[in-house]
Structure 1
Amino acid sequence: MQHVFSSVIVAADVRIPGCSVRMERTPGRGVDWCRNGVIAKRKLSEIVYNEAGGIVYGSLVQARDILGGVHFHEVTSLPAPSQLPPRPRLVDREAAIAELEALREDTTDAPITALITGSVGVGKSVLALSWAHMIRSHYPDGQLYAELRGHSDGAPASPQEVLGDFLHALGIPAELIPGDTAQRAALYRTVTHDQRLLVVLDDAFTAAQVRPLLPASPASITVVTSRYRLAGLVVQGARGVYIDRFDAAASLALLRDALGSDRLDRQLEAAAELVELCMRLPLALSVAAARLAGRPSWPIRAMVTALAEEQQALTIGDDVALRSALDLSYRALRPETARLYRLLALVPGSTFGGDAAAALAGIPRVEARRLLGELTDANLLTDISDGRCRFHHALVRLHAAQLVEAEDQREGAEGRLLAWYLATAARAERQLRPYRTGLPRDAEPSPAEPTDFGGPQDALGWLESERTNLSAAVTLAHARGREVMAWQLADAMWPLFLYMGHHVERVGVEETGLAAARAAGDLYGEAKMLNRLGLSLNDLGRYDDAVARFDEALEIWRRLGEREREAGSLRRLGLVAAGRGDRDAAIAGFTASIGIFRELGADRKAALGLIDLAGVLVTQGRGPDAVIHLEQARGLLRGVDDLYNRARVGILLGYAQVDHEQADRELRSALEMMNRLGSSVGRAAALEGLGELAQRTGRPEEACHCYEMALEVLGEAKSATYLRLRGRLDHLS
């Protein structure tokens, strides 16, 4: 039996905040909506119009008439985020748990924020994570976690950074995440407004750091830990739960849990003294217990004596117990384990894996992973996800940092780590942009075991996971006077920014790279970073600043006799002129650059110039001339592994073609290629082209729809493209 369905709409592999489908029937019969991929069926005679709105991450199929069977398969979607670190062992704290439960059960029409405060080492994080694991089943839309580094040896985590990670975890592709903190916060509120989320924000420094990270839904809950009372949050409705040090009974219970009742009961007097020497601080007790647990034959009295001697040499303060416990635990480590513990304080980011640890210490990866396991067993490190670790507490990292200053050749260790970052970023770069050859990536000797990748997706995944560390490594290299390393690493990060955005961070990294190249007196590196920074500024519509950078680069290339690079700067100046609307200057710049590229046999770069030239010709209404240049560019790119620029040819052909059906085919093919690449800029350009075609052929509603989708895809409100799209919409309305 055959069936005819009309206006069947199927959404698969979808994670869609607010996507909807609108179907109009014949006049007088009303309008139907179906949301989030619901199937809609109407009689053929009734349907005259259907439309999908919003952003679909996955597949969307719309069809008017289908003859034959229609089969629907189970929809797959991204899993809800589950970011909580492993559940820690909780001792005592029944009263605090009861207080937190009462807070959660107190019905309210606003999101709940629980603020856990207390002194250093008192167990705030352990309580927060333990309770979060207890209640996680009540929050099926996901659990988010961020370490805010309020009391680390580096800068606290910025809300902008954390919001980017949260939005990505909630299913928003990185290329759709805005650069501006306020825009990220607004998108976060939109995404979370009807979800049941559990958010844990560990070690907060200020209320201002926390406020943008609070979800919007009253069905959500946020757990914040801080040494401070954060009155700004309390004023806004946060409920405080203060925890103090253990009493003697709870302290002994912690030791009993780690050492066993038999051992503790035989040495109860010494155990009681140990409790007081640790000032009943759970963190200090845990470190001491970890050391005793690793030495079953060691009497507790020996630990008491050693700890008392340590404390006599320390200045009395709130962290004296913890510092003395850490010193004893550190001295019990094997020499190679102790060395790695010290060196890990040099990692510029907050997390690290076995490969980075191996490079840092100059040891094989297998050995590094084994030593990380020993440090985790000693309660000095904490496992997170995907084989990565972090220090157990900010004070533990500070302790390691103080030791590395005193006992290690810091320069050699940092050099090994930075060399690994550069070599691995260069390998990722080659996977993603294989046509970029002969790039200088020789600032440091390559590591013995560089990380390799199976393909472009693996390479991009590594760049994104290490993004914070890579950006911090550029800053570290510059601060340590490793200037060539700094600019080469900044340059190697280009594919990450090209594919994933991170616009604000990109400008910061490139400004540091430029300063480093200048400090090194490296004219080649300076001109490269000037070009990089000029492109970033041009994308943000900062045309005067972009021209200044490109002019400086052009002068350097001419001094160096680099004619191909000179042509590249002329082309970039043409891009700025085109952005400003100075078409004659743009055509002059593009024509000059194309001539040099052809003379030098640089076919791919000549194709890029032809694409840019065709874009200006299109704005002048010279479509047939533009088509000639675009077909030449397509021929030059044939066989070149550069899908992005082949898609750009298709987008411009969509503007230039007189045949509207051919233009539509070109634009839709280009949009599909940009989707495969995951380029937000490219997708927005293709959608803008489809909108312009719809507007040109008398379909204003469809044009508005395409422009709105392009704006949502782009997400960068400061960019020139965003402002142009906004102007198109304003004109239509």
Structure 2
Amino acid sequence: MRNELSGGQVSGGVVQARDIARLTIGAGAPPPPVRVPRQVPAPPRGFVNRTAELAALDALLAGEPDTPPVAVISGIGGVGKSAFTRRWAYQVSDRFGDGQLYADLGALRHRGGTEVSDVLGGFLRALGVHEEWIPAELPERASMFRSKTAGLRLLLLIDDAEHAAEVTPLLPASRGSAVVVTSHRRLGELLLSGAVPIRMAPLSADEGTRLLAGMLGEDRLRAAPAAAAELVRLCGGLPIALRVAGARLVQRPAWTIERVVGELTDAARRLDRLAVEGKPVVETVFEAAYHGLPPGAARLYRRLGLLPGPDFPLGAAIAIDDDGGGGDVTALLDVLLDANLLDEVGDGDRYRFHDLVRLHAARCAEREEPAAGRDAALERVAEWYLGRMAAADLAVMGTRLRLADHGRRLALGGTPFGSPGDALDWLETERANILALLRGAAARGWDEFVWQAAEAMWALYYQRKHYADWLEANRLGVAAALRCGDLAAQARMRNQVARALLELGEYGGAHEELVLARAAARESGNRRMEAAVLESLGRVDLERGDLDAASAAFREALRVNEDIGNPRGVGLQTYHLGLAHSRGGRHGEAAAAFERAMTVLTEVGDELLQGKIGIKLGAAYRSLGRPADAARAAGRAAQIMRDRRVPAEEARAWELLAVLAGESGDRDTARTRVRQAITAWLAAGNTDRAAGLREEHDL
């Protein structure tokens, strides 16, 4: 038997019958009315206004685009991307008369996988397409969605996208629509297609405080403003962490903010404390991002968590992962940047963790890296830093006394700095990291590294006057040298401690350190080290006003340097004798000593000391009535110190030049030199001296 249907294409069911006496056609129940979809969830309470980011999204709607504009809102997990986009969607809802569509891809992913086809099916149903007419395959659904949205004014909010491929099929066809995507990744493929990136950073101190005020009330914050500010800092301005901490205080009205601050101060337990009903809410956010990393990036992430400083350079990242594990570290860093687990700092190859992310990375290392592996990774970083520090010290200080032998390190590392100023600036940039590394090394008993690193940091501490760091680093060095039993290193470290105390006016403490240093130097048999300690003893006597004792110490140091054939030491002690003459008002003898020292140190090639001597020589010439010679000496000194980026000495040279110009009657030049001195003092961090000059010269 063969059945045939005529009439062309037939849609719907077909009834086959032999005879039909009567046919009744019923329309059935009418379809439900199509309503304008409003799917975006309401914004959360206590939203802190992000003015700049909201303005960037508003700009998305400006003009007449050829295609629907797309914005990618990215940032670290918990930074408030979803709350922000919902707030904006609420504010601009009247501009999208055909409705708002919403999909939380993260929630779908956690329920067993994200099917973009299912999301499109839901969107089509929301736009009134009956289930019967929705195609089964993704390409046909995407095509129908574009057809259905053509000419509409829709806002699409796609939350927690993982990849651009999840978003592309969801893009509508109407120029009057807009799409906002949130992701913990940067979604570079969407950006290549013209999407606008908007990066969400943690809240500022003021914004974080306002968020807490919205939860706890203004009165409670006014009662403990310092504690509230510290709570924001400990949470790193991360909204999810602040909300968790705030929720604990809301649930316990009798608790003070100080109590929660006290709990979070312990960095090792901070993530555990940021929990709700026993659930580690904040850590869970970071865990999700971590488990989404490829193996190489995950390994680098947890190892970077071992670094003790607030940020780190590319070289340190390369060193910490340089154990034959493979992988291009720069490419792995790009993966972490894309996942918003790292931030770039400045214009160069420098990176930083959010504080809470760093704690999570360190916890991952503790959990997954063996103790020996963790120590080996940090040792590689310490060795890399010491090589760079040695190169910077050599570039800044030249052929000064050094006990550590860095020959192999310098041969391997080459010449990484273009100038002494570049080297000094690198030490300044890495100052906090190096001190943190010193602390960690001291705790691990890496004594050779500790005292050698403290010795190398003299170049920075002596030029830039970071006294707290100077004292801490070298006291760690003293303890390390004592544990090593290295007498010369003990003398070196105590001498460097004493020089900081001397400059701080603590002459008694400086003298005590130097007595111990001289005994260690003598016992070690290192005569050059003994000469350095004698110089420091002379400097203490000089500052105490005992010029005879100071001169005697400098002459003895001079004889030792002559005996061992150290021309730099000869020039340096001749300079110190000039200082003693100058303090005694013997300006002619002072000028002669400075001139002899200048000659020797010019032959040695020590430009830094030439600059220091030039300032003192200029002052001696001024006292002798030789202003032209004084200006030449001070002018060259100012240029040397500017080029070498030693602002405190540069400022002293400009001050002397200002006095000389004023005494010659050139008031305009004098004021110019004072302004240059003020700029240099500010660069050196001496705001008091800068303010004093402004007041003195009415600037």
Contact 2:658–2:671 under 8 Å retained in 1: yes
CA distance in 2, matches of 1:653, 1:410: 53
1:123 to 74, 79, 90: 79
Q: What is the TM-score normalised by the length of structure 1?
A: 0.55
* Counterpart amino acid of residue 336 in structure 1: G
Deviation sequence 1:686-732 (CA, Å, 0-9, x none): 3454577689999999999989986885469999x999x989x99xx
How far off its partner does 1:336 sit?
A: 2.9
Pick the aligned partner of 2:362 from 401, 405, 409: 401
How far, CA to CA, are the matches of 2:210 and 2:685 in structure 1?
34
**Whose RCO is larger (CA < 8 A, sep 6+)?**
1
Whole-Å Cα distance in 1 between the matches of residues 349 and 82 of structure 2?
A: 21
Query: What is the match of residue 613 of structure 1?
Result: 577
* Shift in CA distance, 510/443, structure 1 to aligned 2, threshold 3 Å: farther
Q: Cα gap change, 1:706/1:617 in structure 2, threshold over 3 Å: closer, same or farther?
A: farther
SS in 2 for 1:352: strand
Structure 1 equivalent of residue 520 of structure 2: 556
Q: CA deviation at 1:643?
A: 1.8
SS of 1:417's equivalent? helix
2:388 aligns to what?
424
Q: Which residue of 1 aligns with 2:643?
A: 676
Aligned to 1:604: 568
1:653 counterpart residue number: 617
Q: Deviations over 1:245-267 (max 9, x none)?
A: 79xxxxxxxxxxxxxxxxxxxxx
Q: Does 1:663 align with 2:627?
A: no
TM-fit CA distance, 1:668: 3.0
Equivalent positions of 1:293-372 (< 5 A) are: 317=277, 319-324=279-284, 326-327=286-287, 329-362=289-322, 367-372=328-333
Look up the match of 1:390. Answer: 352
Return closer, same or farther for 1:485/1:130 CA change in 2, 3 Å cut-off.
farther
SS at structure 2 position matched to 1:454: coil
The CA deviation at 1:582 is 1.1
Q: Distance in 1 between matches of 2:571 and 2:555?
A: 12
Structure 2 CA distance for partners of 1:484 and 1:233, relative to 1, 3 Å: farther
After TM superposition, list the pairs within 5 Å mapping 1:159-170 onto structure 2. Answer: none
Which of residues 592, 595, 598 in structure 1 aligns to 2:559? Answer: 595
Q: Deviations over 1:276-312 (max 9, x none)?
A: xxx9xxxxxxxxxxxxxxxxxxxxxxxxxxxxxxxxx
Residues 658 and 674 in structure 2, CA contact (< 8 A), matched pair in contact too: yes
Q: Is the 8 A contact 2:395 2:423 kept in 1?
A: yes
Residues 1:630 and 1:376: Cα distance change in structure 2 (over 3 Å): closer
Cα pair 1:330 1:338 within 8 Å, conserved:
yes
Shift of 1:576: 1.2
User: Any idea what the Cα deviations from partners look like across 1:654-704, whole Å, max 9, x if unmatched?
Assistant: 233324232333233323332333323323433454577689999999999
Alpha-carbon distance between aligned partners in 2 of 1:535 and 1:715, rounded to the nearest angstrom = 23
- 2:658–2:669 contact (8 Å) kept in structure 1: yes
Aligned match for 1:380, one of 341, 349, 359: 341
With 599-608 and 222-231 compared, the bigger mean Cα shift is at: 222-231
Supply the distance in 2 between the matched residues of 1:468 and 1:243 (Cα, whole angstroms). Answer: 23
The count of residues paired between Structure 1 and Structure 2 equals 471
Q: 1:434: which partner in 2?
A: 398
Q: Determine if contact 1:124/1:225 at 8 Å carries over to the other structure.
A: no
The answer to whether the 8 A contact 1:554-1:570 is kept is: yes
* Structure with more helix by fraction: 2
Distance 1:335 1:631 in 2: 64
In the TM superposition, residue 347 of structure 1 has moved relative to its aligned partner by 0.6
The aligned amino acid for 2:645 is G
Task: Name the structure 1 match of 2:259.
Answer: none
* Whole-angstrom CA distance in 1 between matches of 2:85 and 2:652: 44
Secondary structure of the equivalent of 2:493?
helix
5+ long unaligned stretches in structure 2: 1-39, 56-75, 88-199, 214-219, 242-246, 248-273
Does the Cα contact within 8 Å between 1:203 and 1:225 map onto a contact in 2?
no
- Alignment of 1:686 onto 2:659: no
Q: Which residue of 2 aligns with 1:231?
A: 221
The answer to whether the Cα contact below 8 Å between 1:441 and 1:488 also exists between their aligned partners in 2 is no
Partner in structure 1 of residue 456 of structure 2: 492
Give, in whole Å, the separation in 2 of the partners of 1:521 and 1:642.
Answer: 32
Using a 3 Å threshold, how does the CA distance of structure 1 residues 633 and 127 change in structure 2: closer, same or farther?
farther
Task: Report if the CA contact (8 A) 1:360-1:413 is conserved.
Answer: yes
By how many angstroms is 1:588 displaced? Answer: 0.9
* Cα distance in 2, alignment partners of residues 390 and 320 from structure 1: 23
Work out which of the residue numbers 490, 495, 498 in structure 2 matches 1:531. Answer: 495
CA contact (8 A) 2:534 2:557 kept: yes
Q: CA RMSD in A?
A: 4.8
Aligned-residue offset at 1:434: 2.6
TM-score (norm 2): 0.57
User: Which structure has greater strand proportion?
Assistant: 1
